[in-house]
Chain A
Amino acid sequence: MRLFVSEGAPGSLPVLAAAGRAQGRAELLISTVGPEECVVPFLTRPKVPVLQLDSGNYLFSTSAICRYFFLLSGWEQDDLTNQWLEWEATELQPALSAALYYLVVQGKKGEDVFSPVRRALTHIDHSLSRRSCPFLAGETESLADIVLWGALYPLLQDPAYLPEELGALHSWFQTLSSQEPCQRAAETVLKQQGVLALRPYLQKQPQPSFLEGRAVSNEPEEEELATLSEEEIAMAVAAWEKGLESLPPVQPQQNPVLPVAGEKNVLITSALPYVNNVPHLGNIIGCVLSADVFARYSRLRQWNTLYLCGTDEYGTATETKAMEEGLTPQEICDKYHVIHADIYRWFNISFDIFGRTTTPQQTKITQDIFQRLVARGFVLQDTVEQLRCEHCARFLADRFVEGMCPFCGYEEARGDQCDKCGKLINAIELKKPQCKVCRSCPVVKSSRHLFLDLPKLGKPLEEWLEKTLPGSDWTPNARFIIRSWLRDGLKPRCITRDLKWGTPVPLEGFEDKVFYVWFDATIGYLSITANYTDQWEKWWKNPEQVSLYQFMAKDNVPFHGLVFPCSALGAEDNYTLVSHLIATEYLNYEDGKFSKSRGVGVFGDMAQDTGIPADIWRFYLLYIRPEGQDSAFSWTDMLLKNNSELLNNLGNFINRAGMFVSKFFGGFVPEMVLTSDDRRLLAHVTLELQHYHQLLEKVRIRDALRSILTISRHGNQYIQVNEPWKRIKGSEADRQRAGTVTGLAVNIAALLSIMLQPYMPTVSPLFQKLENDQIESLRQRFSGGQAKAPPKPAAVETMTTAGPQQIQVLMDEVTKQGNTVRELKAQKADKNQVAAEVAKLLDLKKQLALAEGKPLETPKGKKKK
């Protein structure tokens, strides 16, 4: 036989390394040909290396040549080797040729070269370390090792592309590279020039087409699929069999909720929305909704949980608004507080209390903290130049004055910011300033103000941060913002304003001033709690036993992570400080920003009018939660996510599980006899459940939602593969199998309903009957109890109830049937079969049209030739 090779062709490496195996079995001649020479008569494109056999036949695949040499030596093929070789041809080679092309032809380096192969290398490393075998297919070196080694050698011989953390890959590669046949092959092919020896050959090859974006698929899920160990399966099955008794007893919720020594006590706050604005979707997901998911989860875990929020009511903006609407500030607050409360009620936000900042408690606690700060010397006085309207006899706060922007000349710039150029303005710099109320020209007057001496509080603050941050769940953006504030140096911050609508300053000479909102707004959490229970100090002066989780958008981080902690530390009254500061990025609306003034975007009160149930809104907003980076609300995406994830995945699974149990088993969970497949499924579900807990404990709300969807995907696949609707009509064994599959599915559905509860807490069109009291009984059943456990009918009748649900079910089926037809057509299946499926589809569409009350679409008549 004759081997054709070409200078610098990487395929020569494994072939030459494997050739030794065939020694003594057949005579091997080696010919060198040019890189563009067509050796194989029937192949259009040149290919080397090629082995011409004595029969005249050609082997033109590198792996096949190596395999042949191994077969000659008496080696027998096995599944594992086949798997490695198929993986090498379909996954490794495309990635590797991209990397080599970058490195050798384009002269790139580092990450550019490494990133295409990272996943493949990690896969090899994991496989080696998981099996804890020195070689790919067992204890001895074999075909798979030679083929992969040969493919990888040109890249990995440069240590830069063999990271230390891939330890198993590292030692495997070193072992093989030091063996004599491999060493010789390497010398022959690379001629000690390293990877550049491949250049003449690779330059002549067409640019490899590699699928970009493949690297970002949801690989982790699949990775886990493969790593299920026997122990994990055994543990999952043991947990399933243990049943109800392993559950902790359900504890009734206390009223009021108070922390208990020795238990986990979770205090959750959501940033206080400014009262005279209607919150938009970004505000809702940024704090109240995110905090709500965590609060509900925390209650499910039976941690003592207090979730509070309220409206932030003091300040200039309220006074301005009051003037605009001809009401008193108090009336404005009363009016808008109700609007806020209604919106959050509609979104099913589970506040223990939704309070407000305009209460006597607020005054009392704020003044107390202030007095303590004064007594400890953390408050300074200084004079500030401000605009004063002599006509109205008062100092004009930022928003009470308008004028020409000193930067761009815009006529209607506000006292704090120009709407046109966006620059921040110091009110006294405005040209032609006007009092917004009486339109007369204000004069510059100086006014005494109080300052919080942040520089003096810097040291206790840093000590506290050093103690708190490591090991906490502060989001990275929050850490970053606090670090940059500290780096820029703390400056005294003014804490008073010349307003009437605010918490009065209890100090002589300051009777006509109030506290600036950013000093007292964060104190609102304390006063709202104080209005909830007179034992509020058990929560707020109990840092040892209470974990404080504060949710907000990132613009609020300085006040919660820096200013309030400084006030609280300076007051020296053992306040509970934020343990976990959870800041989101921003949510954009379609391609732009939400804008209250421009009316762009969906605001809380409008969401109710869309006819889309609150739970769907919750699901979608949580699915796109700006966790780690900005995200955008998009209507089309919402439709897509709802239809694909909620309906076709989650809804479909829960519906089917419930439907089978009520249709085939009269609503009783049938007896279950687990097979090894079922046990594996249990282990997969358990793994995802653990994942869900880990993520939610770290407040990674969006990521945890993915675990729920993964479980229902497992469930769908399980039903699809086991076809209980067919087996129920079969033999006794088939019927028993159908029972097991249905029972397991409905138990998983019950688990999902609990996992989903923090995200979608109420009656939604899809999960309606799996809610409330029945959740409890289903939850108990899932923990292993079967039909003998409480024989309450399992509860799914979703199909037969109200219209919208039916429509959704039908739409779902139309989509599914449409896919079936398309698939068959793509397969060029028999005409009769296609026609039958099409008829089913048309029938479904008709039912849907009837259900929606639409006129029937007449089928578009295709002209037949």
Chain B
Amino acid sequence: MAAAAELTLLEKCLGLSKGNKYSAQGERQIPVLQTNNGPSLTGLTTIAAHLVQQANKEYLLGSTAEEKAVVQQWLEYRVTQVDGHSSKDDIRTVLKDLNSYLEDKVYLTGYNFTLADILLYYGLHRFIVDLTVQEKEKYLNVSRWFCHIQHYPGIRQHLSSVVFIKNRLYTNSH
């Protein structure tokens, strides 16, 4: 998904009515937001955080110092690890690490839904839809988290809904 399209989705789920315009820069098509008062903003997570503030939903950036740092860490992870590589092996490592991280967590920060969940959901969508039933079961915690986020009100929008099976089919495989 192009970054501009993703930011438009984000605007909608933040309830921002006026659609911003984005241009894309360079080979990686980095989004640029031309703000009316001041210089332009460049970069997916930078613009996303800006939109969150615009919508007065700062809590999505985390409440404590720790939470804020964790949110930014996963946003960075999103643009460097999830977007940076697309070889199957790299993605498998991402899913494996995330699966292990999410073992004891509902959301990326623990118990609070944040911007990190939204952008990681958007970023992983194209990989998750391609997973086999067996793989979804292998990355069980990711699946649980992903399914949860896609049902979060207003997040999924036109993206296809990924089906997860509730009963386990491959109980012996791991």
Contact = CB atoms under 8 A, between A and B. Distances in A.
Interface of A: 41-45, 53, 55, 57, 59-61, 63-65, 67-68, 71-72, 77, 79, 82-83, 85-87, 89-90, 93, 211, 214, 217, 219, 222, 225-226, 676-677, 680, 717, 721-722, 823, 826-831, 833
A833 B157 CA distance: 13
A828 B66 CA distance: 35
Q: Which 8 A/B pairs are nearest by Cβ-Cβ distance?
A: A64-B73, A71-B65, A68-B69, A42-B100, A86-B43, A721-B21, A42-B101, A83-B46
A57 B66 contact: yes
Given A63-B72, A90-B79, A82 B97 contact: no
B36 interface: yes
Contacts of B61: 77
A826 B70 contact: no
Contacts of B23: 225, 717
A83 B50 CA distance: 10
Given A45-B93, A826-B126, A829-B159, A60 B73 contact: yes
A59 B74 CA distance: 10
B69 A64 contact: yes
Nearest to B38: A79
A828 B126 contact: yes
25 contacts: A60-B73, A61-B76, A63-B72, A63-B73, A63-B76, A67-B69, A77-B68, A82-B50, A83-B41, A85-B72, A86-B43, A86-B44, A86-B46, A87-B43, A90-B28, A90-B43, A217-B26, A677-B21, A677-B36, A722-B21, A826-B1, A827-B125, A828-B126, A828-B129, A830-B160
B79 to A, nearest CB: 6
A65 B72 CA distance: 10
B50 to A, nearest CB: 5
A677 B65 CA distance: 37
Nearest to A26: B65
B105 to A, nearest CB: 10
Contacts of B66: 53, 55, 57, 68
B79 A43 contact: no
Interface of B: 1-2, 5, 21-23, 25-28, 30, 32, 34, 36, 39-46, 49-50, 61, 65-66, 68-70, 72-73, 75-77, 79-80, 84, 93, 96-97, 100-101, 103, 110, 125-126, 129, 158-160
A interface SS class: helix
Contacts of A65: 69
Given A59-B70, A86-B76, A217 B27 contact: yes
Contact of A64 (B25, B40, B72, B160): B72
Contacts of B100: 41-42
Q: Which of A57, A63, A86, A217 gathers the greatest number of chain B CB atoms within 10 Å?
A: A86
Contacts of B96: 44
Given A61-B77, A86-B46, A677-B36, 13 more contacts: A59-B73, A63-B73, A64-B69, A64-B72, A82-B45, A85-B72, A86-B79, A87-B43, A93-B80, A225-B25, A225-B32, A828-B125, A828-B160
A749 to B, nearest CB: 20
A127 to B, nearest CB: 10
A179 B68 CA distance: 27
A824 to B, nearest CB: 9
B101 to A, nearest CB: 4
A89 B87 CA distance: 20
A827 B1 contact: yes
A151 B170 CA distance: 46
A717 B32 CA distance: 13
A5 to B, nearest CB: 18
A93 B69 CA distance: 19
A42 B76 CA distance: 17
A83 B43 contact: yes
